[in-house]
Amino acid sequence: EAGVTQFPSHSVIEKGQTVTLRCDPISGHDNLYWYRRVMGKEIKFLLHFVKESKQDESGMPNNRFLAERTGGTYSTLKVQPAELEDSGVYFCASSQDLAGRRGYTFGSGTRLTVV
Amino acid sequence: KNQVEQSPQSLIILEGKNCTLQCNYTVSPFSNLRWYKQDTGRGPVSLTIMTFSENTKSNGRYTATLDADTKQSSLHITASQLSDSASYICVVSADSNYQLIWGAGTKLIIKP
């Protein structure tokens, strides 16, 4: 079974530019999550999709971040325009059930550096 | 405020030795507590998950304990190996919205 795949693995962009991160969850996992780890801090929740719907987006920092999951398969997270404080590692995870009782599978993350 | 605190921040031990990592949480209402291992450049990988009624869970050389009364958990690693070098993160799920509340992790280094 393929795991959760994230692309790109690294991205370096200038302040003010746009970046789009992609996550391909495990096939059949309705639940998809985005998390972010800023340097030196703990991982923080961004948002949760159930299929194509946003179940919880309370962790999204501001309106420069836009997440989509058209068709309920892969998801994208766009940052526009990027700011220096957006630098960090963005993780995607998927799970079969809403509460994650059968576990979450994480991707390797996208390391975003805004310069 | 829902929080998860871990100690120590970092730990260096010799190969073959045992170690114990600590986690205190103030998440309510509590659903479950997980320990993850995260290798550098990789995503977190689940080691154990415990609900309110469980107070110990083992996964090979890893044994997690949970005291729901004092809101404390520990992860004990037995006979450490070089491959155990990683960050170990305690994560608590709130029953209200299933969000995961993450600790900052303990960076463990195993030296030969």
Please name the member of B42, B93, B98 whose beta carbon is closest to the beta carbon of A108.
B42
Q: Which residues of B touch A4 (CB under 8 A)?
A: 43
**Other C-beta atoms lying within 10 Å of the C-beta of residue A16:** 10
Contact between A18 and A80 (Cβ < 8 Å):
yes
CA–CA separation, A92 and B78 (whole Å): 31
Probe site for chain B from A41, A43, A44 (most B CB atoms < 10 A): A43
Q: Do residue B99 and residue A43 have CB atoms under 8 angstroms apart? A: no
**Per-residue model confidence as pLDDT tens for chain B (112 residues):** 889 999 999 999 999 999 999 999 998 888 899 999 999 999 999 999 999 899 999 999 999 999 999 999 999 999 999 999 999 999 999 877 778 999 999 999 999 9
**Which residue from A99, A97, A79, A100 is spatially nearest to A36, judged by alpha carbons?**
A79
Q: Do A42 and B98 touch (CB under 8 A)?
A: no
Strands (E), A14-87: 19-24, 31-37, 43-50, 53-56, 65-68, 75-79
Scanning every residue of chain A, which has its alpha carbon at the shortest distance from the alpha carbon of B34?
A103
What SS3 state is found at B82?
helix
Tens digits of residue pLDDT in A14-56: 999 999 999 999 999 999 999 999 988 999 999 999 999 999 9
B31: chain A residues, CB-CB within 8 Å: 99
User: In the predicted model, is pLDDT for residue A13 greater than 70?
Assistant: yes
Measure CB to CB from residue A100 to each of B4, B89, B93 and give the nearest one: B93
> Which residue of B45, B46, B102 is in closest CB contact with A43?
B102
